Amino acid sequence: MDVPNETMESTPTHIRAIKDITFGSIAGIVSKVFEHPFDLTKVRLQAQVLDSSARFSGPIDCLSKTWKNEGVAGLYRGLPAPIVGAMVENASLFLSYREFQHVIRRVTHQPDSQKLPLHQLAIAAAGAGAITSFLLTPIELVKCKMQVQMLVSPLTTSSIPQALPGPIAVLTSALRDSGFRGLWLGHTGTLIRETGGTAAWFATKEYVASLLLARRAKITHLSANTHEDPTVLLPWESALSGACAGAAFNLALFPADTVKSAMQTAQELRPQLDVGVGAGSGVVSQKYFPPSFLGTFAEMYKAQGIRGLYAGCGITVARSIPSSAIIFLIFDGLSKRFG
């Protein structure tokens, strides 16, 4: 976040918090609309790792089949939940990241005007990711369940239902099946991904940004005709450093996200059968037993090895590069304009 230190010091804490939440929410909404079809593809590829036969041969096959059988609505299935998730995630990340930096400065007795070293910025980012994971897991649970709704039945036009449960219905169903605690199914994976991934995300962004600023400062020193502030990122510099950060986030701990997606879609795609109440009743009903993180990890590794744990990684990294560039371009731009 490249807001001049004197501006940060003169802005009241509650105003800075409101701006972080607002700017982060706006950046999250724009990036999520752009990336949602690719995120849907990732989740569907991750969800089929434990299936006996794959529905899709790869990301292009998944995108084309989704377009053919479900249209534009299918590519954006479950979008309301990710929109809310993107607002919550980015607002929480940027706000928590700044606040953790303040905590580190107080503990280490560093002035607010001093930029923290990279390893301390990574620690602040990891703390922000850990907090965000608790807010994000229920939202991602609803999103993932909605994104695989069409996979429960064969993907043929004749079998497409006229109406599918919306986010509220999916949330209510999850509460009924697993209780309030069940909303945090897959949280271990989200915690690992957000803690390590966010540390890589912000640290990479800060590092690349520092290189770009140093490069421009050197050029500015050699040129007397420039009016650019060498301490504030230009739009293309924000986008480039953000793009590098997006790749780092997803490459860091991608298998944790794969396991999380498999856990959150297991009830829809791999329901377990149980004999109904009453001895000898002969009634078979579907009963859901939430999987464990380590158990799901072991099953996925046994089924497809490392390749299965990285299902959908290619398209995820490909979409995260422009998506993360958009997030930082918007956040840094709004911070510069209204900070």
Phi-psi region of 312 (alpha: psi -120 to 50; beta: other; left: phi over 0): left
Residue 277: its pLDDT value, please?
Answer: 44
How far, rounded to the nearest angstrom, does the alpha carbon of residue 163 sit from its chain's CA centroid? 27
- In sequence order, the 6+-apart residues with CB closer than 8 A to the CB of 279 are none
CB-CB contact of 66 with 94 (8 Å):
no
DSSP state of 150: G
Distance CA 127, CA 7 (A): 24
- Token pair, residue 120, equals 């301390």
Distance CA 230, CA 228 (A): 6
Q: In this structure, how many other beta carbons lie within 10 angstroms of the beta carbon of residue 217? A: 13
Residues 167-201 pLDDT 10s? 889 899 889 988 899 999 999 999 999 999 999 99
Better-scored residue on pLDDT, 209 or 16: 209
- Token pair, residue 47, equals 């969800």
| Crossing angle between the packed helical segments 313-338 and 80-108, to the nearest 10 degrees | 60
- Token pair, residue 19, equals 């701006």
Residue 272: its pLDDT value, please?
Answer: 61
Residues 131-163 pLDDT 10s? 999 999 999 999 999 888 877 654 444 444 456
- Compute φ and ψ for 118, nearest 5 degrees: -60, -40
Residue 102's Cβ-side half-sphere holds a number of Cα atoms within 13 Å equal to 12
Residues 72-112 pLDDT 10s? 888 888 788 889 888 999 999 999 999 999 999 999 999 98
Map out the domains of the chain with their CATH numbers. 5-338 (1.50.40.10)
- In sequence order, the 6+-apart residues with CB closer than 8 A to the CB of 35 are 319, 320, 322, 323
Say which range, 221-230, 248-257, 325-334, has the weakest mean pLDDT: 221-230
Mean pLDDT, the chain, as a whole number? 85
